[in-house]
Each structure stands twice: as structure tokens, then as C-alpha cells.
Structure 1
């Protein structure tokens, strides 16, 4: 009887540990030809590298995997999108997995094929809204001579576009997502509550190249009230995660080759927490998402 009780207690502790939420951070290493990498953390502040490649890219003109973004659907499936080329592609890569180890056949999603002069399709970002069961994908593209360019070269005057899907088989027609009247890339959608969305974005104009926020009452916008920058210049690739009642915003300070972070509760005031975080050297920007500890344990065992 005593042995059975000890065994049951052990099973209970083990089950609790496996059901605990941990954080994964999608990543890649330059020159981005090796494929999907990941960091992991139990507190979203201190990160370790899995030190393995989970999926090697085989589509796109350059067959690279940059800016990997993952979300998990209600059925447990992980959906992944990524930048497949610096230039020349009219779409991006897609694959899915049940365990982040075994992946579906890679697909190329030609979201800008209706705009043949498009220079690039960069940093596709996934957002899943549980209330509507819709996936929204946003990305940056440059179509020369389409928008007021200011001081930007026509081949670097980006705007954000989007499509939506519920099954990754059929997609809504591509539409303009945001035109803030400046070149914009690397945008991330954050839902605070119903009818309350924040867009964290990079102002890509010279000399700015820094990170700002905008606000909307719907997931697809119109996003308004673009803020002043809350980071220094030469920052990009924001990744956002909620920890308790605070939002952490990680970003790549690429000229200094460091990773930094801010925290906020309202997306109006920001506190620099760069000295409180640790990110492995070589990590390049992706997205942060939560999984059960058992998912991470399986990855660590591979």
C-alpha cells in the first residue's frame, strides 16, 4: 500500500511538471541556410539553445529560412511560416507539425503573385485568434512606385500586407495591412482583449530603423496612433510575450550584435530590461510561444 501511494504521488508530480507551460523562441543562424532553430526558457527571461536544427528549408529561390514564426492551432498543430529568399520570391514558406520534430511537406505560398513587380516578401508573422478561429498572416513587401517614399529608395519602400485562413488550404485575397506613410517591416500583432489590438512594428526609414507601436480595435486594422520609437536606432525583429501582467518585447540590436528587451503593461511606457535577460550568441529573431513542458522534454530528448 505504501509503495502504491509513493508511486501515485510520483505520477502526480510528474504529470504536473509535464503540464507546466514553458516558452519557445524560434530562431535561425546566419547565413540562414541551415534551417529552423529554437531557444527555450521557463521564465521568458533566461534562454538556452536547443543546439539542433529542426527543419531544413528546401523551397524558394535561395532556399533559406529567415524570420521563422510559429503558432499553435486549437487542434494542437504547430504552423510555421518563414522568409524563403532575400529577393525574387513572391511568397514565403509554410509547413506544419504535431510535435515540432516531424514536419509536413514544405509548401510555397505565393501571396504576392498578383503583383509581379514585388521586390521581396519578408518576415511573415502568424497570429491566431481563438475567438474567430482565424489565422492572420502579415508580411512586408516592397512594390516600387506604389507609395510615397520619402527618403527611401523605391526598392526599400515597404508596406505590410495580410491574408487570412482557417485551414492553410484556402486563403483570403492579399490586401494592404498598414500604410503608416513610411517604410515598415517586422510587424507583430498582439491581442490584449476583445476589440483591443496592438501592432509592434519597425520603422524602416533612414535614419530611424527603430521600433514603434500602433493600435486598432480589429485584428486587421486600421492601426492608428503610431507611437514615437521606444528603442534606439538600428533595432528590428520584435518578438512579444506576456508574462504575468507584463508584456516583454525582445528585439535584435543588429549593429551591436546584441539582443535587448523592454517590458510594458500598457504599450505606452517601456522599461529597459536588457540587463535582466540572457540570450545565446548567434540567435536571430523569430517569435515566442508557449507550450507544455512535455513538448520541450520531447525536443530535448531528440
Structure 2
């Protein structure tokens, strides 16, 4: 009888542990983003499996192009999942929606973040970062404003010359006016910001073609809203990289990115943000995955998504 009781006790505790164990969720898009949000899960941060046979969890409904590219999802202090995305190639807006479980979503909204700028040409790759100290969310993205930052190199790519802009909110109902967040003196895009103790770490893409960069760099700030300074040397190799997203496992930083000219994902790891090791040969991703974001979830939440 004691053996039976012990076996049941162990099974119960294993079940509880499985429910509490953290797993990782990758939110991404495929192709041009026309079919919406895709999700994949992992238990080690290296091997990822697409959920629901890699079908869409949410189809885009806003903006002229009705796209859902570059999805960024975070777990808010209110317990909801909050997502922003690139909703169009040329609109002055970004998409926003929230969900309690990544399955059932609120009505999609079009946030017209650059409508006040007549010369704004786009609003791309938005992200959200939460500042626990001020209980504030910052939404930020890349935009080209015609003539705002003259740059002879920008003519190489249809005159696009991005800088990073932002708004803040505490409730996703009211927002502060749009402001410039980051101008390193050159064309930049795809910023993602991670709280790290008393500082904030920004990973971003250097978009310059002359001389050719197309790599990822890091900048730092003491406040979420900047200023971001001390721009690093490239942390990626001799290939074109974009769309960074990060994961912390123990004392290791793991940075994923889209090696888009090579048509596959890449990854690098570091313990000090200075010395980086390429681990691309260790990762396994869903076919056709394009860039997005990673976050932690529980096993119970994963089961609902399945």
C-alpha cells in the first residue's frame, strides 16, 4: 500500500512540475506576412517545433496591405499578452492586439503612430518593452521621414533612411506623442530592447550599404527611453542579418536573427555581450520562419495553444 501511495505521490508531483516548467514560445511570420501569426515552442531554446501544423493563429485585418509581419509579443504586467506588428509596407501605422492565451484575441487596432509626419514613408518592425520601475510600456519602430536625415548612402535602397521612434503607454488605451528614440548617425532598423539590471540593452540592425554593414550591433541606456549610446562593433559575422530577438538562459544571452540572404535563421551566444559564439549549427527551426520574438510561457499555457 505504501508503494502505491508513493508512486501516486511521485506521479502527482511530476504532473505539477510539468505544469509549472517554463517553456519558450517563438512568435513569427512566414512569406510576406499575409496569413498572420505563427507560433513555435521549445524547451531548450535551440530546437523549435511549429504549433498547429504551422497554421496561423491570427489573421491580419487592419491597414491597406493587411499584413502581420515582424510580430512582437510580450506578457504584460496585467497578465495579458500584448502584440504589435508591421501592418503595411507604406502606411504610417502599426497593428496592435491583446490576448489572455495567444488563442483568443481582441479586435485588432491600427495605431497611427506617424500620421503627424507628412514625409513619413513607413512604420516597420515595432516592438514593446516594459519598464517595471515606471510601470510603463514603450512601443518603438523604424521609420524613414523624407529629408529628415540626409544620407547619400540611402539612395541605394529607394531613399530609405530609418531611425527609431517611440510612444509610451500604461494601459494600451492612451499614448504619448511620438518621439525620436535612437539616431546613431546612420540608417538603422529592427531594434529590440531588453532590461538588464539597472540598464537597458538595445540590439539593432545597421542598415548601411556604403560601406556595407547589414549586421547587428548593441547600444546601452540607463533609462528605457534613452539616450542609447556606446554603440558596439558588429556582433554578427560576414553575412547579412536582421530581426534580432533574444533569450536569456542562465547566464547566457542567446540572440536569434534572420540571415535573410541565406534563407535561414542564425544564432549567437554570449555571457558578457562582448565575446560571441556562433551556434547556428545547433538550432532547428520551422521551415520558412521569418523574424519575430521569443518569450517564456508555462507548460499549461502551451497546452492551451496546442
TM-score, normalized by the shorter chain, greater than 0.5: yes
Alpha-carbon distance between aligned partners in 1 of 2:248 and 2:283, rounded to the nearest angstrom: 15
| RMSD of Structure 2 on Structure 1 (CA) | 1.4
Q: List 4+ stretches of structure 1 deviating above 2 A.
A: 1-12, 129-132
Q: Which residue of 2 aligns with 1:164?
A: 168
What does residue range 123-272 of structure 1 map to in structure 2 within 5 Å? 123-153=125-155, 155-194=159-198, 196-206=199-209, 207-231=212-236, 232-272=238-278
Q: Does 2:295 correspond to 1:289?
A: yes
Q: When the two structures are superposed, what TM-score results if normalisation uses the length of structure 2?
A: 0.94
Alpha-carbon distance between aligned partners in 2 of 1:11 and 1:96, rounded to the nearest angstrom: 34
Q: Which residue of 1 aligns with 2:12?
A: 11
Q: What does the per-residue CA deviation read over 1:82-132, in whole Å, with 9 as the maximum and x for residues that have no partner?
A: 000111x11100000001000000000111111122100000011112232
Structure 1 residue matching 2:15: 3-state secondary structure: helix
Q: Does 2:19 correspond to 1:21?
A: no
Alpha-carbon distance between aligned partners in 2 of 1:36 and 1:105, rounded to the nearest angstrom: 15
Q: Which residue of 2 aligns with 1:43?
A: 44
Deviates more, 1:127-136 or 1:242-251: 127-136
Q: When the two structures are superposed, what TM-score results if normalisation uses the length of structure 1?
A: 0.95
Do 1:143 and 1:155's aligned partners in 2 also have CA atoms closer than 8 Å? Answer: no
Q: Which residue of 2 aligns with 1:59?
A: 62
Cα displacement (A) at 1:7: 4.3
Do 1:150 and 1:182's aligned partners in 2 also have CA atoms closer than 8 Å? Answer: no
Structure 2: 5+ residue stretches without partners:
none
Q: Which residue of 1 aligns with 2:114?
A: 112
Q: Which residue of 2 aligns with 1:76?
A: 79
Alpha-carbon distance between aligned partners in 1 of 2:272 and 2:224, rounded to the nearest angstrom: 18
Structure 1 residue matching 2:159: 3-state secondary structure: helix
Cα displacement (A) at 1:44: 0.6
Alpha-carbon distance between aligned partners in 1 of 2:235 and 2:223, rounded to the nearest angstrom: 23
Q: What does the per-residue CA deviation read over 1:180-233, in whole Å, with 9 as the maximum and x for residues that have no partner?
A: 011110001011102x11110000111211111111111111111111112134
Cα displacement (A) at 1:74: 2.1
Cα displacement (A) at 1:268: 1.4
Cα displacement (A) at 1:241: 0.8
Structure 2 residue matching 1:156: 3-state secondary structure: coil
Q: Which residue of 1 aligns with 2:93?
A: 91
Structure 1 residue matching 2:154: 3-state secondary structure: coil
Cα displacement (A) at 1:258: 1.2
Q: What does the per-residue CA deviation read over 1:15-68, in whole Å, with 9 as the maximum and x for residues that have no partner?
A: 211111100011111121100001110011111111221100000110010000
Deviates more, 1:200-209 or 1:59-68: 200-209
Do 1:184 and 1:201's aligned partners in 2 also have CA atoms closer than 8 Å? Answer: yes
Do 1:26 and 1:38's aligned partners in 2 also have CA atoms closer than 8 Å? Answer: yes
Cα displacement (A) at 1:5: 5.8
Cα displacement (A) at 1:9: 3.8
Task: Flag the 1:9–1:75 CA change in 2: closer, same or farther, 3 A.
Answer: farther
